[in-house]
Amino acid sequence: MAMMKAVRIHKYGGRDVLVYEEAPLPEVAKDGVLVRVVATTVNPFDWAVRNGYVANYYTYTFPHILGLDVSGVVEAVGSEVKDFSIGDAVYARTHPSVNGAYASFTSLPASAVAKKPLSLDYIQAAAVPHAAFSAWQALINTAHLSTGQTVLIHGAAGGVGTFAVQIAKSLGAQVIGTCSAQNLEYLLSLGSDEVIDYNVTRFEEVVHDVDVVLDLVGDIGDNTQQRSWDVIKPGGKLVSLVQFPSQEAAAEHGVQGIFVSADACDGQTLTEIGALIDNGQLNPVVSTTLPLTDIKQAHEKSESRHVRGKIVLKVDGN
C-alpha cells in the first residue's frame, strides 16, 4: 500500500490528539484528481472538529485527516476528468465531511478544484478557498448584497472577515467592521468605511438601519448576534456562518435570520474568486506560516480567536 505523511486524529480531544504520522495514499475517483499538497491552513472549523463540537453534524471515521484548504499540484487524474492535467497548479476546498488536506496528498472531485490564481504563490493561494468561498456564499448568494447597501461585519479581521470586507467593497456596499484595537487600521486598509473597536464601543449604540449583518462571532462571550437585531432595518437580513439565528427574534424585528453552511465549495466559484484576485480586487492575508509538523502550535494560535487573516501550513517535502 502506498503511504504518505499526514496529521490525523484517532479520537476527539485537545491539541494532544493531533498526530503527524504515516497514512495511506488516497485513491482517485474516476471523476476526481489527486493533488500533491504544497500548503494548507488552519480554520476554526478544524479545531471544532478536533474537539468534537460538530459530531452531531458530521459523522467521521477515525483516524481522520483535518484541513479544508489546499493549494498544490495535480499528481493524477481520473479517467473521466477533462479539465485538468498532471502538473496543473490548483487550489480547492475539501468537503468538511471527508478526509482533508493536512497531508502530503489529498483526493478531490474535479468539480471542486480550480486553477490557482496566477498572481498568488502556493502559500497565498492556500489562504483563499474556505474563507473567500464562505464570504461569497454569505454576502452574494445569501444576502444578495448590492451597491449602496450597508453591511455590518462582526469579526471582520479574521480569515472570512478579511474577504467579506473586500467582497462587500467590490459590490459597492458601505462596510462597517467590528474588531479589536490592533486591527482598526488594518480594516481601514482593506476598504472598511467605518471600524468599531468592540472593547471600547457597543456597536448597537452607534450603528443603525443596516441592510445586512454578517455574523462571524455568534453569542459566545458578548451576545454579539443577539445584540445585532436592533441595528437592522426592517426587511434586512442577519446572515451567520457560526450560529443558527433565532427565528422568533427575526420575526419580532421584521427581518430575516439565515444560517449559511458553506459545505459544497465548487470550482466555478473559486475560478470567479481567482479572477477577482488576479484583477487586484481581492487579496488574501497570511499572518503566520508554519510547517505542518508544528500543527499543535498552529491550532493553539487559531484557538486564541485573535488571528489576523490566515494561518498557513507548509507541507513538508512539497
For 64-103, b/e burial (b = at least 16 CB within 10 A) is: bbbbbbbbbbbbbbbeebeebeeebbbbbbbbbeebbbbb
Amino acid at 302: S
Identify whether 278 is part of a domain.
no
The Cα–Cα gap between 83 and 77 comes to 10
Q: Which residues lie closer than 8 Å to 258 by C-beta, 6 or more apart?
A: 142, 143, 237, 238, 239, 240, 245
Residues 124 and 208 in one domain: no
Query: Is residue 275 one of the residues assigned to a domain?
Result: no
**CATH number of domain containing 161:** 3.40.50.720
pLDDT tens digit sequence for 148-163: 999 999 999 999 999 9
Kindly state whether residues 236 and 300 are assigned to the same domain.
no
188 and 237 share one domain: yes
pLDDT of residue 318: 58
- What is the domain extent for residue 119? 3-128+284-314
Please indicate, yes or no, if residue 271 is contained in any of the structural domains.
no
Read off φ and ψ for residue 233, nearest 5 degrees: -70, 155
Q: From the first residue on, what is the mean pLDDT of each consecutive set of 10 residues in the chain (318 residues)?
A: 95 98 97 98 95 92 97 98 97 96 98 98 97 97 97 94 96 96 93 95 96 94 94 98 96 97 90 96 94 97 86 85
Domain co-membership, 153 together with 113:
no
Domain total of the chain: 2
| Shared-domain flag, residues 109 and 183 | no
* 269 inside domain: no
Is the same domain home to 154 and 208?
Answer: yes
**How many residues does the structure list for the chain?**
318
Is there a single domain that holds both residue 241 and residue 197?
A: yes
Predicted pLDDT at 127:
97
For 209: left if phi > 0, alpha if psi spans -120 to 50, otherwise beta; the answer is left
- Predicted pLDDT of residue 230: 96
Cell of 311: 494561518
Structural domain includes residue 276: no
